[in-house]
Amino acid sequence: MNTIPAGDRTLGHAVVLGGGFAGILAAGALAPYAETVTVLDRDEPHVAPQRRRGVPQDRHPHFLGPGGAELIEALLPGVHTALWAAGARRIRTTEDMLLYLSAGGWLPRYRTERFGVACSRSLLDHVLRERVRQFGNVGFRGGCLPTGLLGDARAVTGVTYRDLRDHEGRTPGARGPAETCSLPADLVVDATGRASRASALLAGLGVGEAPLQVVDAGHSYSSRVYRARPGAERSTPLVLIQAETGPGRPSGNGALLPIEDGLWIVTLGGLRGAAVPDSEDDYLGYARHALGTPLLADMLADAEPVTAVLRSRSTFNRRHRFDRVPGWPRGFLVLGDAATALNPVYGQGLTVAARGATALRATLAAGEPVTRRLQRAVARSALLAWEVSTRQDRRFPHTIGPAVGRIDRLAHGYADRVMRAAQSRPAVGARLIDAMFLAAPAVRSVGHPMVALAAALDGGAPHLTTPPLTDRERSVLTGGRR
């Protein structure tokens, strides 16, 4: 897949810390411009889709929205074809979606040119990893735990890590004796996710601490895998139910993601203090009474559970402002959740990682060195998602973070009117989806004059109160329940 002659590449050796989605895309962005790329990860790379200890969220839904879907194809041409062949679902907006908005109604379904990718996280990472391997100069090395950076406060020149593998190449765990290794590099990329130790690694070189921003609405959620109801294996739409933000106690939120092999991943969530189910005993009851709509409960009533209920509380928004660190060292970059981690209920984290990898690719293509300027570009690429996620979370009671101000209240009011207008105007709905899934800048989506006019005129339009299902879908998905 390399298209740049080896003698014209701008980097010798690049090291990526972390072999998950962000790390894989970073390796793909680097491959055409580096002699070699080494991806270090604690988990061993698998030759087939398989759960990884280093991705504790992989049993929860991961929807790659339209914005991210476009970017991964640009980074790794042909990856969409590989995903469809492996069983991933193509989710067209909004034809293949059922969206219950926080404004209290359903979004109509219509076709646009946009689509997203629905599959298990293990399948997504596997397909992308195999595409990146085709560059021929990327190696994945498991059993590696980063411990420090080589170089000084002016430039990073490599990484040190503990080799956790035994003499037979197996990784028994982090305890016990392990060899400490040094790996020189022209560039080190930290893509180790929420568990990143980038601040500590930089402190070891004498680099100042990055300002930290946190917004925590106290969301928690529980997920379970079901086998799709007979007849719905390849035709189930994506279901997203947002938490309502009106007066009184907000409702819960939920999602159903149709994935490969005729399975559904279902998630039920709620805010701080909500009785989010952590066992099968009250799972369906919560789906029926806590979401503002019984649709998920109706779909699951006769569905076959495949796994137990798995709980997660890793939903706070956290941003390390590495872009504000003075004297940022050359040859080091932090991207993905390691830099900006978002509340996963909004489905933007994968796209933010893809945007960061795209910024890396653009810098390398322009022949520019990796400096603080690129770290700033990565921060800018995550800004819209940060604003969307944190501004929504700050609407909920008991959120930890900056208080809601006058500008926020104006933005909230406008967002509510746009969502209500979208329920009767497909053109508004299409631009709303572009904003929700980072497929277009805000000024071209919800900030478009047409959208603003529709929000002013139709802000009080009646809610679409019943799910926009076809007769066949209603029969197959809910047994005819309304």
Please give the CATH number for the structural domain made up of 6-62+122-214+315-387: 3.50.50.60
Mean pLDDT rounded to a whole number for the chain: 90
Q: Hunting for tokens 């795209």 — which residue is that?
A: 358
Q: H/E/C letters for each residue in the chain?
A: CCCCCHHHCCEEEEEEECCCHHHHHHHHHHHHHEEEEEEECCCCCCCCCCCCCCCCCCCCCCEECHHHHHHHHHHCCCHHHHHHHHCCEEEEEECCEEEECCCCCECCCCEEEEEEEECCHHHHHHHHHHHHHCCCCEEEECCEEEEEEEECCCEEEEEEEEECCCCCCCCCCCCCCCEEEEEECCEEEECCHHHCCHHHHHHCCCCCCCCEEEEECCCEEEEEEEECCCCCCCCCCEEEECCCCCCCCCCCEEEEEECHHHEEEEEEEECCCCCCCCCHHHHHHHHHHCCCCCHHHHHHCCCEECCCCEEECCCCEEEECHHHCCCCCECEEECHHHCEECCHHHCCHHHHHHHHHHHHHHHHHCCCCCCHHHHHHHHHHCHHHHHHHHHHHCCCCCCECCCCCHHHHHHHHHHHHHHHHHCCCHHHHHHHHHHHCCCCCHHHCCCCHHHHHHHHHHCCCCCCCCCCCCHHHHHHHHCCCC
What's the confidence (pLDDT) of residue 56? 54
What's the confidence (pLDDT) of residue 482? 62
CA distance 384 to 191: 20
Tens-digit pLDDT profile for residues 56-75: 567 789 999 999 999 999 99
Higher pLDDT pick, 233 / 337: 337
What's the confidence (pLDDT) of residue 328? 96
Q: Region 438-457: what's the mean pLDDT? A: 91
Does the pLDDT at position 464 exceed 90?
no
Does the pLDDT at position 169 exceed 70?
no
Please give the CATH number for the structural domain made up of 88-118+216-312: 3.30.9.100
The domain locations on the chain are 6-62+122-214+315-387, 88-118+216-312
Q: Percent of the chain scored above 90 by pLDDT?
A: 70
What's the confidence (pLDDT) of residue 449? 93
Intrachain domains 6-62+122-214+315-387 and 88-118+216-312 with the same fold: no
Does the pLDDT at position 45 exceed 90?
no
What's the confidence (pLDDT) of residue 410? 92
Does the pLDDT at position 30 exceed 70?
yes
Does the pLDDT at position 111 exceed 80?
yes
Tens-digit pLDDT profile for residues 248-284: 666 799 999 999 999 999 999 998 888 899 888 899 9
Q: What is the band of 153 on the pLDDT scale with cuts at 50, 70, 90?
A: very high
